[in-house]
């Protein structure tokens, strides 16, 4: 064929009714929902079967029970509101998508096996019948024929992506979605516990650090550069405490980890400092003293590391003890008794690392 070189009177139809060839050995009754088979693209009576695409409502009977493929045609209507059966129909069904249950019955999503879309419920006739506007389904039929079903072209794996922003190397929607969800579900998040949110565990506000034989910690700008909370080298150092908000996306089906960033003033081998922590859930709906301590001792600092070396130690907060939002974790931290003999220790940062969960409405 060649391109036009002059005006042409192109044939035209409103497309409200359309004649379609019928599949082999198929019978279509007048008034039935009609679908195309995903493989042959021939018309047959509507059914909740995979790979079918809704194309309209039969305006006449088409008996091809003993006939070959395309031996006869059926006329289908592609516009309008049609009265179909629906089990347990209620007024709140209005506006919801309708899916084929059989050739004269529709149902809501998730109540059929294959969710073959055939329109929108426009009005309630009775508890057993609804008016279905089929036009919305026909508007997407062309897409549906290209995106045929979950077993083949309907799958997200058949839809290419351009990725103009060069955010991914994936080439189809399915792979890109897997990449996104893998990132969301595996990405770790953290709750920062600001240094200035701590007070002494008895409620006394922390003051500036005072050198000497004291159990009391205090704020210090160590060597004029490193801000932190500092303890003297005392055998029984006092604890500090803070309240940590449990974030909405906190996944309490996975362990969380308390991180402590600290340094020491010296390099004494015996001062392999651990931090003793207490942790209690204080959650909405429970008594504020209902929980039991699920803290413990952190890992040990390297005692003979070069003086002033910043080290990270951790304590795993077991998932069996974690609570979901809304709530807080009441936390105390102190150098473990007996691990601070010669060197002072300074905490520079504290945070809780957790696994995120997907938030739903």
Whether residues 214 and 236 fall in one domain: yes
Asked whether residue 1 is domain-assigned, the answer is no
Whether residues 126 and 237 fall in one domain: no
Q: What is the pLDDT of residues 256-299, one digit of tens each?
A: 999 999 999 999 999 999 999 999 999 999 999 999 999 999 99
- Domain range enclosing 162: 157-184
CA distance 332 to 205: 14
pLDDT at 156 (0 to 100)? 58
Instruction: Examine the fold and report which residue of 104, 138, 154 is the final residue of a domain before the chain moves on.
Output: 154
Q: What is the pLDDT of residues 3-13, one digit of tens each?
A: 999 999 999 98
User: DSSP assignment, residue 239?
Assistant: P
Whether residues 331 and 270 fall in one domain: yes
pLDDT at 158 (0 to 100)? 54
Q: Which two tokens stand for residue 151?
A: 């077993």
Buried b (16+ CB within 10 A) or exposed e, 193-212: bebeebebbeeeebeebeee
* Coil, strand or helix at 145: helix
Among 166, 165, 147, 167, residue whose Cα is nearest residue 157: 147
Beta strand 345-355 with 188-192: parallel, antiparallel or unpaired?
antiparallel
Whether residues 142 and 87 fall in one domain: yes
Averaged pLDDT, groups of 10, the chain, 361 residues long: 92 93 97 95 96 95 97 96 97 95 94 92 97 91 46 53 72 78 75 95 94 94 96 96 95 95 97 97 96 97 97 97 95 96 96 86 56
Whether residues 209 and 71 fall in one domain: no
Distance of alpha carbon 240 from the chain centroid:
36
Q: Is 305 exposed, middle or buried (0-12, 13-18, 19+ CB in 10 A)?
A: middle
- Is the N-terminal amide bond of 326 cis, ω within 30° of 0? yes
Among 114, 78, 124, 122, residue whose Cα is nearest residue 97: 122
Q: What's 96's domain CATH number?
A: 2.40.300
Find out whether 26 and 43 touch, Cβ atoms under 8 Å.
Answer: yes
* Phi/psi at 313 (5° precision): -125, 155
CA distance 45 to 37: 10
Among 50, 57, 104, residue whose Cα is nearest residue 76: 57
The 3-state DSSP composition of the chain as helix, strand, coil percent (nearest 5) reads 10, 40, 50
Going by C-beta distance under 8 Å and a sequence separation of 6 or more, which residues neighbour residue 52?
35, 36, 37, 38, 44, 46, 100, 114, 116
Among 341, 316, 196, residue whose Cα is nearest residue 264: 341
User: DSSP assignment, residue 319?
Assistant: G
pTM of the model: 0.56
Q: What's 251's domain CATH number?
A: 2.60.120.260
Asked whether residue 215 is domain-assigned, the answer is yes
Whether residues 216 and 161 fall in one domain: no
Whether residues 178 and 198 fall in one domain: no
Find out whether 135 and 80 touch, Cβ atoms under 8 Å.
Answer: yes
Asked whether residue 6 is domain-assigned, the answer is no
How many CA atoms are closer than 13 Å to the CA of 357, on its beta-carbon side?
16
Whether residues 26 and 174 fall in one domain: no
Whether residues 116 and 218 fall in one domain: no
Q: Which two tokens stand for residue 7?
A: 């005006």
Whether residues 194 and 178 fall in one domain: no
Name the domain count of the chain.
3
Whether residues 285 and 327 fall in one domain: yes
Instruction: Examine the fold and report which residue of 136, 154, 172 is the final residue of a domain before the chain moves on.
Output: 154
Whether residues 229 and 329 fall in one domain: yes
For the chain, the distance separating the N- and C-terminal CA atoms, rounded to the nearest angstrom, is 55
């Amino acid at each position: 064929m060649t391109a036009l070189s002059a005006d042409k009177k192109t044939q035209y139809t409103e497309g409200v009714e359309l004649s379609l060839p019928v599949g082999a050995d198929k019978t279509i009754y007048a008034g039935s929902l009609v679908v195309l088979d995903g493989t042959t693209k021939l018309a047959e009576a509507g059914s909740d079967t995979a790979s079918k695409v809704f194309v309209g409502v039969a305006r006449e009977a088409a008996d091809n029970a003993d006939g070959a493929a395309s031996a006869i045609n059926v006329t289908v209507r592609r516009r309008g509101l049609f009265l179909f059966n629906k089990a347990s129909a209620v007024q709140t069904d209005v506006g919801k998508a309708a899916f084929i249950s059989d050739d004269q019955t529709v149902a809501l999503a998730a109540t059929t096996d294959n969710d073959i879309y055939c329109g929108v419920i426009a009005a309630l006739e009775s508890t057993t019948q609804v008016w279905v506007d089929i036009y919305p389904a026909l508007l997407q039929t062309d897409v549906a024929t290209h995106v045929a079903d979950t077993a083949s072209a309907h799958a997200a794996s058949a839809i290419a992506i351009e990725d103009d922003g060069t955010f991914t190397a994936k080439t189809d929607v399915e792979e890109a979605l897997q990449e996104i969800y893998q990132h969301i579900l595996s990405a770790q998040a953290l709750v920062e516990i600001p240094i200035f949110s701590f007070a002494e565990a008895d409620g006394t506000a922390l003051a500036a650090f005072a050198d000497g034989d004291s159990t009391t910690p205090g704020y210090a700008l160590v060597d004029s550069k490193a801000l932190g909370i500092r303890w003297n080298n005392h055998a029984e150092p006092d604890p500090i405490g803070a309240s940590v908000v449990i974030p909405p996306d906190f996944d309490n089906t996975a362990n969380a980890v308390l991180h402590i960033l600290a340094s020491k003033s010296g390099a004494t081998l015996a001062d392999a400092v651990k931090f003793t922590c207490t942790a209690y859930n204080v959650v909405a709906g429970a008594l504020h003293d209902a929980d039991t301590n699920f803290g413990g001792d952190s890992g040990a600092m390297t005692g003979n590391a070069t003086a002033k070396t910043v080290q990270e130690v951790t304590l795993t907060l077991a998932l069996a003890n974690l609570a979901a939002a809304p709530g807080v974790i009441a936390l105390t931290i102190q150098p473990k008794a007996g691990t601070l003999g010669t060197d002072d220790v300074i905490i520079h940062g504290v945070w809780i690392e957790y696994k995120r969960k997907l938030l739903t409405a």
